[in-house]
Amino acid sequence: MNHSNLQAPLSVSGLTVAYQKKPVLRNVSFEVPEGKLIGIVGPNGAGKSTMIKAILGLLPRVSGEVEIYGKRYQDMRKSVGYVPQRESVDWDFPTNALDVVMMGRYGHLGWFKRPGTKERDMAMDCLAKVGMKEFAHRQISQLSGGQQQRVFLARALAQHADLYFMDEPFVGVDAMTERAIITLLNELKAQGKTVLVVHHDLATVREYFDWVMLLNVELVAYGPTEDVFTKSLLHQTYGGRLAVFDQEDGAVLVESR
Amino acid sequence: MTLLSWSVLTDPNTQWILIGCMLLGLMSGIIGSFTYLRKQSLIGDTLAHAALPGICIAFMLTGVKSLPLFFLGAFVSGLLATLLITVITRYTRIKADAAMGIVLSVFFGIGIVLLTHIQHSSYGNQSGLDKFLFGQAASMIASDVYTMIGVSAVIVIASSLLFKEFKLLSFDPGFARGLGFPVGFLEQLLMFFTVMTVIVGIQAVGVVLVAALLITPAVAARYWTDRLGLMVVLSGLFGAISGVIGTLISTTTSNLPTGPLSVLAATVVFVFSVLFAPQRGVCAKAVRRIRNNRAIRMAEHVREIQHSPVYSKEESL
Amino acid sequence: MMEFWIIGTGALVAIACGILGCFLVLRRMSLIGDAISHSVLPGIVIAFMISGSRDSLGMLLGASVLGLITVFLIQLFQQSGVQSDASIGVVFTALFAVGVVLISLNARQVDLDLDCVLFGEIAYVHWNTISVLGIDFIPKSVWILGITVLFILVIIGLFYKQFKICAFDPAMALACGIPVALFHYVLMGLVSMTTVASFESVGAILVVGMLIVPASTAYLLTERLSVMILYSVLIGIACSVFGYMIAAWLDASIAGMMVTVAGAIFAIALVFSPRHGLLMRLRRRRKWAEVAG
């Protein structure tokens, strides 16, 4: 899809989400430029996943507006792809990898149309892109954690969206999957797509993302990685929970728990 | 008119039923608080259904209708049922809810087959067995009530003596094991009490509704307090009150069964608790939520005003 | 002919329950199915009191509404902090109690036998025939069940992909714009309808067995949802055929025997299933032990 208008892929203003008494996300406003890989970083309980879910309307929000390419999310669903956390589904479900990827097409198929050969081929392509073609007919419970994550990514690819949200795609995956995901993210970027990734490994932020959002209930900082991913801003985000080891090739940051 | 109907209460039979239902409510309320906190609310339902084949087999083997024998039969099949649920959930991909449904319905199916077999065969003293399963509080007699007094006394005494053990068991069984408590034994004991309650309850309210006696008062009590001790007492109290109200309505009105009325009385207590309990009640929560949202918005507003650059009137002039 | 209709009725129940059961089992809502099958009772009684007859479609409708109310109440209590098991227990027992009280209050007008509601009377289905379009030899319950099965086939057939994704990944479904709540309630409505359509023949309690047991057995045997549904239906039909034959031989409850057979088939699958059976598990573990040793 080509959004010739100059609207930002995503603009959020005054987003506040609360569980019971405590706001878990307070007055967050930002605008996402097109064609960037954006890492969302912050300590545990900072509201990273909550923010994605609230943007996608999966959680009720106390206040705030969300616009996707200048329109309401409800009208732009087809331009948005979502990769939830791997644990959010039951991997014992009786289905195979190919079938899960085809689910990415369901939103486009409309109410009555069934997935056919076209969807099948599309899903196969997406599986191939994440290096999982040979596992297409494998029952999903028999895939490793990394392979399951790649199936989820392939499903998001099948959505043919312009704006992607990924919730901790690097958690519990092997090195090979991590590389596959990163290659994929760069490919998406090359196609002019925008990707927001919830990320928790500070060591790889600089390497993976163009832009960074530092979040701890409130938006601490947001912008190009070199401007934002600084020691002082990280300290501000993580409070005392951050250990910094200075090494020859730069600072290695570890979140202490 | 009212005078006439209330005079029924002086009838010794009615008094026995009243005492019986009250005791039943009391003990199921107490045991129910522990099963609720152990997240095994529907265990009562499973045990009630699973009891049927056990009772039938006990009857078929001995040919006599005796409560202790039925106890034994129900306990054995109840134990088998819980064991099967554990095996199915632990060793296959089938989840707990389905495992429970499978065991419950299959045991009950087997029970019904045995029951019809008994009814169609030439077992002598079989009448009343099906009544037993659908509950007839009205048929309760003095000897039944004596049994119930005994059972409830055991349960009340045991739960007060073993209060801290049961508490730990409900909260953190792993930790209890670490402390050296005989967790397996305690679990079996609680299970044994549950079976006793269920069997007595089946007699009064029937297989389907016995679950309510264990669940509803406990959930209602949970709404009023965060302390286990108080919760157990309240739950027992709610159960007893429901039993009394059920019996009163049923004896003073014509033709209404006691069991369902007791369950409905407990449900009324529950709904009242859900709506009006001070901290966790729906009303209290709604008021709090409205206040919180307002407070959050207000705080945001203040923050915005503080953070935004100051445009003073002088400037605009 | 009698045998044909009894087995036919059982098979129709098996088809309806087999299809819906798969979704219940996969969505971890087996016990909600149990709850619905009990709490439709007041709906049946009220519809009966209004229409004064047992064959009305109104009964089907009244009970379906009650089923939806059940689901709604369970969710309501869950959201207000009651554990899910407990809220299921509270709701279905309360509604069942209402049903029993209503029956007792109207004992004269309502010719509904509680035993019949709980156990069903599949042995007598062929006695109760009605004339539709001039065909007068088909039993009433076969008509009602037939319509129900047709309805289920159409709805699930049309919206298979939606039901599937709602069962697998509701969050993703919601993000795609699929009305997850609507499909949830449609499924629950179908379950209620099936319960009511079957209650006369197999009884409220055994409907649960037919909903959950064949579907769970199928879940142990396959890795594809469509195959799972097929197996579930076939197993259900086998249960009704063998259940009837054994019950006739032993002179015992047909409905009870149907579920007993279902339990036996489940037990076989539990032990011998090629991929998920206990035996396979044991063998696999032994192999690992050998490799390790």
pLDDT of residue B316: 41
B184 vs B173: CA distance, rounded Å: 10
Mean pLDDT estimate for chain C:
84
Q: Which of C256, A197, C254, A64 is nearest to B107 (CA)?
A: C256
Query: What is the arrangement of strands in the sheet containing A218-224, beginning at the earlier edge strand?
Result: A80-83, A163-167, A194-198, A37-41, A211-216, A218-224
Chain A residue with Cα closest to C178? A107
Query: From the CB of residue B260, how many other CB atoms can be counted at a distance below 10 Å?
Result: 28
pLDDT band for B312, please (50, 70, 90 cuts): very low
Cα A137 to the center of its chain, rounded Å = 26
C69 vs A152: CA distance, rounded Å: 36
Which amino acid is it at A130?
A: V
The CATH number that applies at residue B121 is 1.10.3470.10
Three-state DSSP at B12 gives helix
pLDDT of residue B4: 47
Chain B residue with Cα closest to C251? B117
pLDDT of residue C107: 64
Instruction: Note whether B301 contacts A: Cβ–Cβ < 8 A.
Output: no
- pLDDT higher than threshold 70 for residue A249: no
Chain A residue with Cα closest to C159? A112
Q: Is residue B107 part of a domain?
A: yes
Mean pLDDT of B56-63: 86
Q: What pLDDT, in 10s, does the model give residues C115-163?
A: 666 666 666 666 666 666 666 667 777 888 898 999 999 999 999 988 9
- pLDDT higher than threshold 60 for residue B128: no
pLDDT of residue B264: 92
The CATH number that applies at residue C204 is 1.10.3470.10
Question: Domain span at residue C157?
Answer: 2-292
Q: What CATH class has A10-255?
A: alpha beta
Q: What pLDDT, in 10s, does the model give residues A197-227?
A: 888 777 787 888 888 888 888 888 788 877 7
Phi, psi of A92 (to 5 degrees): -80, -5
Place of tokens 């306990």: B75
pLDDT band for A250, please (50, 70, 90 cuts): very low
Which CA distances in Å does B73 have to A30, B79, C211? 67, 10, 28
Three-state DSSP at C93 gives helix
Q: What pLDDT, in 10s, does the model give residues A145-162?
A: 888 888 888 888 888 888
pLDDT of residue C228: 94
Query: From the CB of residue A86, how many other CB atoms can be counted at a distance below 10 Å?
Result: 19
How many domains does the structure of chain B reveal? 1
Contact between B273 and B224 (Cβ < 8 Å): yes
C41 vs C66: CA distance, rounded Å: 8
Who has greater pLDDT, B296 or C68? C68
Three-state DSSP at A196 gives strand
Nearest by CB to A16, which of B93, B288, B296? B296
Domain range annotation of chain A: 10-255
Three-state DSSP at B310 gives coil
Angle between helices B67-91 and B183-205 (to 10 degrees): 120
- pLDDT higher than threshold 80 for residue B17: yes
pLDDT of residue B307: 62
Q: Which of A256, A228, A232, A243 is nearest to A41 (CA)?
A: A228
Which CA distances in Å does B41 have to B36, B81, B193, C202? 5, 15, 14, 27
Who has greater pLDDT, B30 or A89? B30
Mean pLDDT estimate for chain A:
80
Mean pLDDT of A87-95: 82
- pLDDT higher than threshold 80 for residue A6: no
Contact between A154 and A132 (Cβ < 8 Å): yes
Mean pLDDT of C222-232: 92
A92 to B296: CB separation less than 8 angstroms, yes or no: no
pLDDT of residue C132: 62
Q: Is residue B306 part of a domain?
A: no
Q: Which of C11, C5, C13, C3 is nearest to C206 (CA)?
A: C13
- The mean-pLDDT minimum among B53-67, B133-147, C12-26 falls in B133-147
- pLDDT higher than threshold 80 for residue C178: yes
> Cα distance from A89 to chain C (closest Cα, Å)?
6
Who has greater pLDDT, C290 or A168? A168
How many domains does the structure of chain C reveal? 1
pLDDT band for B52, please (50, 70, 90 cuts): confident
- pLDDT higher than threshold 90 for residue B122: no
- What are the DSSP E strand ranges found in chain A? 10-19, 22-32, 37-41, 63-68, 80-83, 163-167, 194-198, 211-216, 218-224, 242-247, 250-255
Chain A residue with Cα closest to C225? A94
Tell me the chain A residues in contact with residue C158 when contact means C-beta distances shorter than 8 Å: 112
pLDDT of residue A171: 83
DSSP letter at A251 equals E
Instruction: Note whether C134 contacts B: Cβ–Cβ < 8 A.
Output: no
Mean pLDDT of B40-59: 87
B88, B106, B219, best to mutate vs chain C, most C CBs in 10 Å: B106
- pLDDT higher than threshold 90 for residue B291: no
Instruction: Note whether C125 contacts B: Cβ–Cβ < 8 A.
Output: no
Who has greater pLDDT, B120 or C115? B120
Q: What pLDDT, in 10s, does the model give residues B94-111?
A: 888 899 999 999 998 898
Pairing of strands A211-216, A194-198: unpaired
Q: What pLDDT, in 10s, does the model give residues C91-123?
A: 999 998 898 888 878 766 655 566 666 666 666
Three-state DSSP at B92 gives coil
Highest mean pLDDT among A1-5, A11-15, B297-301: A11-15
- pLDDT higher than threshold 90 for residue B314: no
- pLDDT higher than threshold 60 for residue A3: no
Q: Is residue B198 part of a domain?
A: yes
- pLDDT higher than threshold 50 for residue B9: yes
pLDDT of residue C205: 66
pLDDT of residue C176: 80
Question: Domain span at residue B136?
Answer: 11-216
